[in-house]
Amino acid sequence: MESFVLDTNIFFNMEAGLSLGKKTEEVVINLTKKIKKLSQEKKAVFYITPKIVDEFLSFFEDKEQSFIKDFLSVVVVESPKINEMVFSASIFQKIIEEIRLRSYRGLNIAEEELEAAAKFFSNEKPKTTKEFQIKVGDFIKKLRERYRQATRKGFLDSSADFELIALAKEKDGFLVTTDEGVISWGRVFGVKEMPSLIFLKHLEFLLQHHPEPNQKEK
């Protein structure tokens, strides 16, 4: 029986290539049908962590919709046993080095944007407080975006991301996500991955595949 650990983004990233619908509700409903059938046939088990459940639910105003309950009823909600897991010290060395590098990038970006703002206001004096706030807002917006790209993109920026990787490691399951940081660090931790582009095809293969008589479970 194969195991899969699902990330929130596969339901909301319409460019993920799942081909299960044009909107989130359709994706959830169609994937639920496949999960239910595979689970009944004992061909696969699908895991989702409590924090990912919270993320998933946060996208819906009405959290009592039947399709949401149906989905949560066919997946296994479980947290990884963090206290029982052991990882190589080299992984933590890599994380520390990455944090240091990203912090340095963020500092450089903050300095560049501060310098740009200082040059602008030394040449142009806003006539009103509103004009000043608007222009400052432009610099702040640009700083936040550049800072986020430098420090968060491609990195583990939440405990939810780490728990996905840890659970996939614990269950020896396929990590299913479109998050570049989770994918990249999942490889560092040595977990199996299932690209979203072939996830659906793999599920369809499992649904169609019937083991030979001598391969059936006794």
Residue-wise pLDDT tens digits, 59-70: 888 888 899 999
Q: Is residue 63 domain-shared with residue 126, that is, in the same domain?
A: no
Q: Is residue 126 domain-shared with residue 175, that is, in the same domain?
A: no
> Structural domain tally of the chain?
2
Q: Is residue 73 domain-shared with residue 93, that is, in the same domain?
A: no
Residue 44 and residue 203 in contact, taking contact as beta carbons nearer than 8 Å:
yes
What number is the average pLDDT over the span 109-133?
83
| Residue 165: partners with Cβ closer than 8 Å, 6 or more residues away | 156, 175, 182, 185, 186, 189, 191
Range of the domain at 96: 89-151
pTM: 0.77
We report the CATH number of the domain holding residue 15 as: 3.40.50.1010
Specify the pairing of strand 174-176 against strand 192-193: parallel
Q: Is residue 17 domain-shared with residue 68, that is, in the same domain?
A: yes
Q: Is residue 104 domain-shared with residue 168, that is, in the same domain?
A: no
CA atoms within 13 A on the CB side of 58: 8
Q: Is residue 75 domain-shared with residue 11, that is, in the same domain?
A: yes
Q: Is residue 179 domain-shared with residue 93, that is, in the same domain?
A: no
User: What pLDDT is stored for residue 210 in this prediction?
Assistant: 63
Q: Is residue 10 domain-shared with residue 66, that is, in the same domain?
A: yes
Q: Is residue 94 domain-shared with residue 167, that is, in the same domain?
A: no
Of the pLDDT bands very low, low, confident and very high (cuts 50, 70, 90), residue 217 is: very low
Q: Is residue 94 domain-shared with residue 147, that is, in the same domain?
A: yes
User: What pLDDT is stored for residue 121 in this prediction?
Assistant: 82
The number of angstroms, rounded, from the C-alpha of 128 to the middle of its chain's C-alpha atoms is 43
Percentage of the chain surpassing pLDDT 70? Answer: 94
Last residue of a domain, one of 151, 175, 203: 151
Backbone dihedral region for residue 17 (phi beyond 0: left; psi -120 to 50: alpha; all else: beta): left
Question: Per residue in 41-95, pLDDT tens?
Answer: 899 999 999 999 999 999 888 888 899 999 999 999 999 998 888 888 888 888 8
Last residue of a domain, one of 151, 178, 193: 151
Give the mean pLDDT of the chain.
Answer: 86
Rounded CA-CA distance 176/74 in Å is 17
Rounded CA-CA distance 218/205 in Å is 23
What number is the average pLDDT over the span 15-43?
85
User: What pLDDT is stored for residue 88 in this prediction?
Assistant: 83
User: What pLDDT is stored for residue 211 in this prediction?
Assistant: 58
Q: Is residue 28 domain-shared with residue 134, that is, in the same domain?
A: no
User: What pLDDT is stored for residue 214 in this prediction?
Assistant: 53
Q: Is residue 169 domain-shared with residue 210, that is, in the same domain?
A: yes
Last residue of a domain, one of 114, 136, 151: 151
User: What pLDDT is stored for residue 218 in this prediction?
Assistant: 41
